[in-house]
Structure 1
Amino acid sequence: MDYQTFQPDTELDAIISCYWTLEVPSSDDHLKQRIVPDGSIEMAFILGDDIKRYVSDDEFIIQPRAMVLGQITTPFFIEPLGYVNTFAIRFYPHSFASLISTPINNLVNTETPLAELFGEKTADDLTQAIFQAKDTPSRITIIEAFLKSKLNEQQVVDNIIQTTIDALIASSGNTPIAAITKQDPAQRRRLERKFQQQVGISPKQLGKVIRLQRALTMLLNNKDDKLMDIAYASKYYDQAHFIRDFKEFTGVSPKEFLGHKHMELSSLFYQ
């Protein structure tokens, strides 16, 4: 697997976490790969062969070749049908909502074709330009021009949304929402509503995903650490709480995750 990341232009670094590419040679024994939540929204262009996403043990869809993958709250399996070549844009949790008129919670746990979000002609023109570009720098130039044009229509993100996300990221998901809303029930309801509109999941869900990201990174990069140490370092109540949340978002226990043949791709992202 060849996975690479690239940083955005300074005009876009407030909305884009990174660009990434993934290339995997064609093989007769491609395994299903489990994808776990990471708190981000991604726009992806499948430049290689088709990729299946399983919706049950034996049912699947073919992912659109130009799509937006919204927030995911449960793990799912994908399986390439040949050569993997993907170019993608990873957005911060709140930022993609400013680029579209579609409610962001409509994108949760689904792949949405670009045509449904930006119109058929705009999406087709962008897709063709990305597919015909000669290399990754050229694709980045194309997508940045497109996104900058969309930012001219951007609505200012509600300050409480930005404040909450900043606090959750800075604390690795551990800032209590009550502390942000100053124990005000009306402000908390407003925050929950705005999150559903602009992030697609609740503040609590995002905090859990961000905390799991920290724990996953520690697990993969410090394999000799005890689960209890990782749990406490990640601010879980105890080891049982850590394992319960881990299973919720990955589908397996921490011990099963390490070296699991279906977790190779997710492990690559977190390492």
Structure 2
Amino acid sequence: MELRYYMPRSDLRDYVRAYYFYSVDIASSETLCAELGNIRVILRGGGMLQMPGGQLEPSMSAFLLGPTLGSYNLMIEPKTAVFGVGIRPEGWHALFGVSAEELADKVIDLTAFAGGILMSSIEEIRNAETLAEMSAAADRYFVDQLNKRQAHIRQRYPVELANWLLDPNDLGLDALMEAMDVSRRQTDRLAKLYFGASPKFLQRKYRALRAADRIRAGETAWMNAAGSKFYDQSHFIKEFKTFIGVTPKQFIDNQARLIAQIQQMRVQSALQIPLASF
């Protein structure tokens, strides 16, 4: 298994969090935790995705995977290689003009969704010999998209919401509404537009992701990994498995090896990727 990252152009990093190359030699089945959206271009091979709701989706030659609201599984054919693009929450509106809620837990054919302009970029990516060349082709496409859509970007990205989700103290909704200076209904609307779900649901998701980060960093005591917002150990285990895909013990025992490798690569590559797993 090979996993490598490459950073986008500096002026794209509010919208695109990272490019990556992933390949396997043998057939495998991997668990992935709940994450933000991705674009994936299959360079060779293929496979299936089992989404959080249990439905099976074939991996199209190029597809858009919306933000996932629970763990999901990859079933990968031998000799598969993928070029991927991690989309930040701000990118849904700026690059595609769609609500993240519309695409949550969905797999969409990328060429049908984005139109013919993207097909030449996909072909350029497939003909590239290095991850740097693939990333440069993707950079050019996203810069073109931003230039075309700039006049249509009316909604200010809710930085306060992102900060609230990242806060390790698990602040209440009142604190979020005060920081954003909008109603409860507006906070829900903005959370679904950019992140695909309500603030309270997202807080559960990122609470579990933070716990997984602590475990990967070496924390083995469940109370320290969990933080203070879980009722008891059984509640922690249930939430962890919902969003990470395995129990904390299975995660410690490296039974979700791809998640662990993703997290480790982020550290080794000095990638600052908040609110993200891939």
> Which TM-score bucket, shorter chain as reference?
0.7 to 0.9
Candidates 218, 222, 228, aligned match of 2:223: 228
1:172–1:51: structure 2 CA closer, same or farther, 3 Å change rule? farther
Runs (4+) off by over 6 Å: 56-59, 183-186
Q: Could you tell me which amino acid in structure 2 is paired with residue 53 of structure 1? A: L
Q: Could you tell me which amino acid in structure 2 is paired with residue 265 of structure 1? A: L
**C-alpha deviations, 1:98-154, integer Å up to 9, x for none?**
2113433221111111123211x1232221111111211111111111101111213
Match of 2:74 in 1: 78
**C-alpha deviations, 1:195-237, integer Å up to 9, x for none?**
22232222222222222222112112315x21122122x7545
Match of 2:270 in 1: none
**How do 1:156-167 residues align onto structure 2 when only pairs under 5 Å count?**
156=153, 158-159=155-156, 161-167=158-164
Match of 1:269 in 2: 262
8 Å Cα contact 2:63/2:107 also seen in 1: yes
**How do 1:36-115 residues align onto structure 2 when only pairs under 5 Å count?**
36-38=33-35, 40-54=36-50, 60-115=56-111
8 Å Cα contact 1:20/1:87 also seen in 2: yes
Q: Could you tell me which amino acid in structure 2 is paired with residue 148 of structure 1? A: V
8 Å Cα contact 1:174/1:235 also seen in 2: yes
1:129 equivalent in alignment to 2:124: yes
**How do 1:239-254 residues align onto structure 2 when only pairs under 5 Å count?**
239-254=233-248
**C-alpha deviations, 1:183-204, integer Å up to 9, x for none?**
9996120121122223222222
Note the residue ranges of structure 1 that are not aligned, 5 or more in a row. Answer: none
8 Å Cα contact 1:94/1:162 also seen in 2: no
8 Å Cα contact 2:28/2:77 also seen in 1: no
1:74–1:58: structure 2 CA closer, same or farther, 3 Å change rule? closer
1:101–1:174: structure 2 CA closer, same or farther, 3 Å change rule? same
* SS of alignment partner, residue 137 of structure 1: helix
Question: What is the percent sequence identity of the aligned residues?
Answer: 21
* SS of alignment partner, residue 129 of structure 2: coil
8 Å Cα contact 1:41/1:71 also seen in 2: yes
CA distance in 1, matches of 2:54, 2:241: 22
Q: With the length of structure 1 as denominator, give the TM-score of the two structures.
A: 0.85
CA distance in 1, matches of 2:207, 2:154: 23
RMSD after superposition: 2.7
8 Å Cα contact 1:51/1:79 also seen in 2: yes
CA distance in 1, matches of 2:23, 2:142: 24
1:246–1:37: structure 2 CA closer, same or farther, 3 Å change rule? same
**C-alpha deviations, 1:10-65, integer Å up to 9, x for none?**
1111122211111222x2xx331112102x11111111201112369997432112
Q: With the length of structure 2 as denominator, give the TM-score of the two structures.
A: 0.83
1:231–1:143: structure 2 CA closer, same or farther, 3 Å change rule? same
Match of 2:267 in 1: none
8 Å Cα contact 2:5/2:21 also seen in 1: yes
CA distance in 2, matches of 1:186, 1:167: 14
Deviation at 1:246, TM superposition (A): 0.6
Candidates 133, 138, 153, aligned match of 1:138: 133
CA distance in 2, matches of 1:111, 1:229: 36
8 Å Cα contact 1:173/1:211 also seen in 2: no
8 Å Cα contact 2:209/2:243 also seen in 1: no
Note the residue ranges of structure 2 that are not aligned, 5 or more in a row. Answer: 265-278
8 Å Cα contact 1:50/1:81 also seen in 2: yes
Match of 1:257 in 2: 251
Match of 2:6 in 1: 6
* SS of alignment partner, residue 85 of structure 1: strand
